[in-house]
Structure 1
């Protein structure tokens, strides 16, 4: 099985959160990597991690992969607190926060409640609010099927989503056995709870509070999951710079060179 060359891991005990596994690279400008829905940090950032010379911190969210195994239901605020607890355990005072999709809301909440810990924001394929017509249709359906997730129904949903990516990307095809293992780590109950938490999330009333934070939006102009207009609206509310890439929501696997180049450019802009 081919696996990507990833940074070393550290196992830490977080008070009240249990034992977690995080990838940590020491550096002068560490980037806190916040991954997307149903993923692990390794999947979302496997091509980016080896290219971050300023250091990095990456942990799976609550209910995902090797993240905190708290018994509470997933919340955006709880996930943000988990990552602050990780930074505390590592003795890291300030980071550049990079949030992809679900990582965006978590990054917003973290920056709003812990502004002293955030040196800059990089937001990718995300929005201030998830209320597209598809989101509105999906919300009642998820509430209805949530009880069925105790049976494990839906565990293969991430595999189906990225099946097309596998056919379009040589890198993804080579890593597929490893990716398949990683994509099966998220429990269906967490998948549903995360989506419902995102639907309840609305950062628009708080956007002005982040206008002094250096922020760059990496906008995926062909995104079928987060409408590009919502990404543009987010950038306008935040007064953020925008880097546009003509890719879909799976860009980090489907077009890794494009994704890495845009991410490094965004990090450089918020750093300077």
Structure 2
């Protein structure tokens, strides 16, 4: 495996986690064997139909960044990297993940925009700091990063927890957002559902702790992070339709056709509550589209962002 860059963004062939340890915990041999028995040959017609459950491609190496480093944000140092040129787009990864999970998406987006990625507080190579792990705090952290980069306004694309952070910013600091895309986000803690375990989840669950430790932290830091994130998931977010209706940012609420973790009613309710929001479901994929179907994900994001850049657009 390739060593990560200074910012922790660029590891090849590894995959992080979006909260599967909430349900999986340490995986038993029985689960592994059961999922192995479920695996189908890649040339089977059924493989194409169920590829989202079976196939998790390795991440490509991140492109060469135009700039990377650590920004001092409040009580911690935040790892970041910048790619491409043009109107700025901030990508925010999911819980227990890291910015390298955007590896297959950065290139297509950076061909048209300046793309900023970072490791969330306590994740990847960003320091943990002492502040509590809440979505409000994480939103403030990313605003602090934008301040340090002298970016007054960005388009924001958030995946899973990253989408929740984007919604938080849209509610409380709409002046900082040009547009917002969320993928696999939820508006209420009780909208999380227990998934049916499949081989992709097993693979991600098995790699997650190793990836975190490979980013320079130890088992104790992983335990603290999972505890803090778990506590956040148990109670947050807790937004009402009235809260979401305050959002005036141009918004796309997106998810996969086979989303594993979020009640689809919550996804539809979010799109209905946010004035003018669009709803889009990517076919033949679930929660992990930026890893499994990055080309389709990138096309969806670019179509939305570029339409917003068009004066004739909505």
**TM-score with structure 2 length normalisation?**
0.67
Partner Cα separation in structure 2 for residue 133 and residue 96 of structure 1: 26
Matched residue, 1:256: 294
- Which residue is 2:181 aligned to? 122
Q: 1:224 to 1:15 in 2, by over 3 A?
A: closer
Measured at CA, do residues 164 and 12 of structure 1 come closer, stay the same or move farther in structure 2, by a change above 3 Å? Answer: closer
RMSD: 2.8
Q: Are residues 1:193 and 2:193 paired? A: no
The structure-2 alpha-carbon separation of the partners of 1:183 and 1:100, relative to structure 1 and needing over 3 Å to count, comes to farther
Distance 2:231 2:307 in 1: 33
2:142 aligned with 1:83? yes
Could you tell me how far 1:233 is from its partner in structure 2? 1.2
Contact 2:105 2:295 in 1 (8 A): no
> Contact (CA 8 Å) 2:193, 2:262: kept in 1 or not?
no
CA distance in 1, matches of 2:297, 2:179: 19
4+ aligned runs moved over 4 Å, structure 1: 182-186
Alpha-carbon distance, 1:179 to partner: 11
C-alpha deviations, 1:40-76, integer Å up to 9, x for none? 0111x11111122211111111111122421233111
C-alpha separation in 1, matches of 2:108 and 2:210: 23
Paired positions, count? 237
Flag the 1:271–1:217 CA change in 2: closer, same or farther, 3 A.
farther
Q: CA contact under 8 A between 1:39 and 1:183: conserved in structure 2?
A: no
Unaligned segments of structure 2, at least 5 residues: 3-11, 13-60, 216-220
**Structure 1: gaps (5+ residues):** 136-158, 167-175
Contact 2:73 2:141 in 1 (8 A): no
* Displacement of 1:183: 7.9
Q: Is the 8 A contact 2:181 2:251 kept in 1?
A: yes
Does residue 224 in structure 1 map to residue 281 in structure 2? Answer: no
